[in-house]
């Protein structure tokens, strides 16, 4: 008998190769994006930014230079760095369909921290993580970052836009930043200068700024509030009140530094962010001093009373939010009046918040 011939098993059909674009990342879109943001970035450049090439691997910023060519000069420069993000305020911006302000928030959260050491902001870099690159929408964010940098007097030197569809849901993104500044060694400010009798000066916030938005979102969800509804108690929509960008205090603080180039009239400063007035001011106090503050010295903006009535306590509000005090300076008593005068010339509305006394590094709010 003849043996039956067996047919070989057919080879499986070759699978088509997968491209990066099919995986969710469009490299060509990123190239177009780099070109789209060039104008916003260059609008922040000054003579200390080197090179004309846009979109390189890094940015160059001149630190030491000829005093005859530039206003600033440092004999013993100390670099200062800080990083921060916008947090869940991004979710409210997405819900409102308004991304024009969160870039300003991003810059403010960084440079306001930086100036507490007496430093001048030099340059800024941002990090934008998205599910899919949408230049038309995200350009609004970068233009906000550039606007914040111009106000703070620093260059938007570069950044990173990461397209990660497997990590972020459709439409979601996150925003973070990094700032570098400089201060003259002898002019650097830390808590060791603070002494009994010093005056605590407060600068108003523009509202919630960019902290506590996880609580904000819970409260407005409980109250079933509509972001686009005009609220009589606020004299604007809730969304407008909540998206108002964080104030940038750079020019006001540097004006004092420029006025007193030898005398060290400012002993410490604090940026009032998450944790509220008490926790942040305690970070600016030495172990041997307390700060006694008066609630009667300022009136919180209406947005804070509005949020509290949605379902939380006053004590919790003070633990989480700035409650209308965005920045604090501690000043030698003989210079308090002069410092407040300088601040008013810069457009601020300063107020005497309290006084420093001997203690254990605590803040009391009465």
Q: What is the percent of the chain with per-residue pLDDT over 90, rounded to a whole number?
A: 69
Q: What is the percent of the chain with per-residue pLDDT over 70, rounded to a whole number?
A: 86
- Give the CA distances from residue 366 to residues 225, 277, 297, in Å, rounded to whole numbers and listed in that order: 32, 12, 10
Please provide the DSSP assignment of 340-364 as one string: HHHHHHTT---EEEEEEEESSS-EE
Q: Where are the beta strands (DSSP E) in the chain?
A: 49-50, 60-61, 77-85, 120-130, 155-163, 173-184, 199-204, 230-231, 236-237, 266-271, 289-293, 325-331, 351-358, 363-365
Q: Are 356 and 206 in contact (CB under 8 A)?
A: no
**Average pLDDT of the segment spanning 74-81:** 87
Residue, of 23 and 252, whose pLDDT is higher = 252
The answer to whether residue 18 scores a pLDDT higher than 70 is no
Angle at alpha carbon of residue 21, lines to 173 and 30, rounded to 5°: 55
pLDDT 10s digits, 281-290: 999 999 999 9
Residue with tokens 């947005």: 303
The answer to whether residue 41 scores a pLDDT higher than 90 is no
pLDDT 10s digits, 222-269: 999 999 999 999 999 999 999 999 999 999 999 999 999 889 999 999
CA Rg value for the chain: 25
**Average pLDDT of the segment spanning 151-179:** 91
**Average pLDDT of the segment spanning 292-317:** 96
Residue with tokens 């459709």: 170
Residue with tokens 């006001």: 252
**Average pLDDT of the segment spanning 21-32:** 61
In whole angstroms, give the CA distance from residue 227 to residue 237. 6
pLDDT 10s digits, 166-182: 898 998 899 999 999 99
In whole angstroms, give the CA distance from residue 42 to residue 49. 10
The answer to whether residue 6 scores a pLDDT higher than 70 is no
**Average pLDDT of the segment spanning 52-63:** 67
Would you give the DSSP letter of residue 274? T
Specify the pLDDT at position 300.
Answer: 96
Would you place residue 17 in the very low, low, confident or very high pLDDT band (cuts 50, 70, 90)?
Answer: confident
Specify the pLDDT at position 70.
Answer: 47
Specify the pLDDT at position 61.
Answer: 74
**Average pLDDT of the segment spanning 53-82:** 69
Exposure pattern of 132-161 as b/e (b: 16+ CB <10 Å)? bbebeebbebbbbbbbbbbbbbbbbbbbeb
Would you place residue 115 in the very low, low, confident or very high pLDDT band (cuts 50, 70, 90)?
Answer: very high
Q: Are 200 and 325 in contact (CB under 8 A)?
A: no
CATH entry 3.30.1330.10 includes domain 27-50+72-187: yes
195 exposed, middle or buried (CB, 10 Å; 0-12, 13-18, 19+)? middle
The answer to whether residue 124 scores a pLDDT higher than 90 is yes
Domain boundaries, given as residue ranges, for the chain: 27-50+72-187, 191-365
- The architecture in CATH of the region 191-365 reads Alpha-Beta Complex (3.90)
Strand order in the sheet with 173-184: 77-85, 173-184, 120-130, 155-163
Cα dihedral 193, 196, 197, 199 sign: positive
Output the average pLDDT for the chain: 89
- Give the CA distances from residue 258 to residues 187, 251, 265, 292, in Å, rounded to whole numbers and listed in that order: 11, 10, 12, 29
Q: Are 103 and 148 in contact (CB under 8 A)?
A: yes
Residues 6+ apart with CB under 8 A from 333: 197, 198, 199
Would you place residue 310 in the very low, low, confident or very high pLDDT band (cuts 50, 70, 90)?
Answer: very high
pLDDT 10s digits, 189-218: 988 899 999 999 999 999 999 999 999 999
Do the domains at 27-50+72-187 and 191-365 have one common CATH topology? no
pLDDT 10s digits, 84-107: 999 999 999 999 999 999 999 999
The answer to whether residue 69 scores a pLDDT higher than 60 is no
């Amino acid at each position: 008998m003849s043996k039956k011939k067996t047919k070989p098993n057919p080879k499986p059909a070759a699978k088509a190769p997968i491209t990066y674009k099919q995986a969710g990342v469009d490299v060509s879109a990123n190239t177009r994006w780099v070109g789209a943001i060039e104008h916003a970035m260059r609008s922040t450049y000054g003579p200390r930014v080197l090179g004309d090439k846009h979109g390189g691997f890094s940015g160059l910023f001149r630190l030491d230079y000829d005093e005859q060519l530039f206003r600033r000069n440092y004999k013993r420069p100390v670099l200062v760095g800080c990083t921060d993000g916008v947090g869940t305020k991004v979710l409210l911006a997405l819900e409102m369909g308004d991304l024009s302000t969160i870039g300003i928030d991003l810059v403010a959260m960084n440079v306001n921290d930086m100036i507490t050491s007496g430093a001048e902001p030099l340059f800024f870099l941002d990090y934008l993580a998205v599910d899919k690159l949408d230049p038309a929408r995200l350009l609004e964010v970068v233009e906000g970052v550039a606007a914040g940098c111009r106000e703070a007097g620093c260059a938007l030197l570069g950044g990173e836009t990461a397209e990660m569809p497997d990590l972020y849901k459709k439409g979601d993104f996150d925003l973070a930043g990094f700032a570098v500044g400089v201060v003259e060694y002898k002019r650097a400010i830390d808590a060791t200068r603070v002494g009994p009798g010093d005056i605590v000066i407060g600068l108003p916030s523009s509202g919630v700024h960019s902290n506590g938005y996880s609580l904000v979102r819970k409260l407005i969800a409980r109250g079933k509030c509509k972001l686009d509804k005009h609220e009589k108690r606020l004299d604007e929509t809730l969304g407008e009140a909540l998206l108002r960008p964080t104030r940038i205090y750079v020019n006001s603080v540097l004006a004092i530094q420029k006025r007193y180039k030898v005398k060290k009239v400012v002993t410490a400063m604090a940026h009032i962010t998450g944790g509220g007035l008490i926790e942040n001011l305690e970070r600016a106090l030495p172990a041997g001093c307390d700060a006694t503050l008066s609630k009667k010295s300022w009136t919180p903006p209406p947005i804070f009373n509005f949020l509290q009535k949605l379902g939380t306590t006053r004590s919790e509000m003070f633990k989480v939010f700035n409650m209308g005090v965005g920045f604090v300076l501690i000043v030698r008593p003989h210079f308090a009046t002069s410092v407040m005068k300088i601040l008013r010339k810069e457009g601020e509305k300063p107020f005497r918040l309290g006084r420093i006394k001997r203690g254990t590094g605590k803040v009391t709010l009465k």
